[in-house]
Structure 1
Amino acid sequence: MNNTIKFLFNIKDKYLRFDEKIPFEEHNAHKTLKKHYNEVGISLQTRLANSALEGINNKIKVIKRTAYGFRNLNNFRLRILLAFIM
């Protein structure tokens, strides 16, 4: 088990069982961790991210914004493909 997962389990043991002992400043972080504990654990174990897909989506949106007014959908498609070849 790597250090990150051990750290997550320590947080669980420390905070998720004792709601009344949480300092006021950490209350929102505690609520978020408690609500999404399983998802955080899975993301730490798998190390998967959607950042590459978000980058592709953003690039297509930028091309779409700069190509506003073009009528030919085929040219728009070719412009997107050309952006990822270069």
Structure 2
Amino acid sequence: MNYKVEVKCQAVQFDGNLVNMPNWFLDKFLVGKQDDNWFLFNEEYIESEIHLGDYVVLYPDDGMEIVPADVFATRFTAYA
């Protein structure tokens, strides 16, 4: 059997301009840049590479995922 599960999460597209990032993003992550590469560091200082245009998805259990824009468009639906 297949089941559909609805999980409400927060997401933001990373554009390299931290002024555009929401408070939840700035509260959860440190952002660094070395050469032309961007990195996110979580509260445990675990490093994840991120590219411009990728989405950062924060799940209700505080799990985080970096999703490329083309994949994000197929897996997530916005709601008001």
Q: Normalization by structure 2: what TM-score?
A: 0.21
Bigger Rg, structure 1 or 2: 1
User: Quick one: higher RCO (CA 8 Å, sep 6+), 1 or 2?
Assistant: 2
Between structures 1 and 2, the one with greater strand share = 2
Q: Normalization by structure 1: what TM-score?
A: 0.20
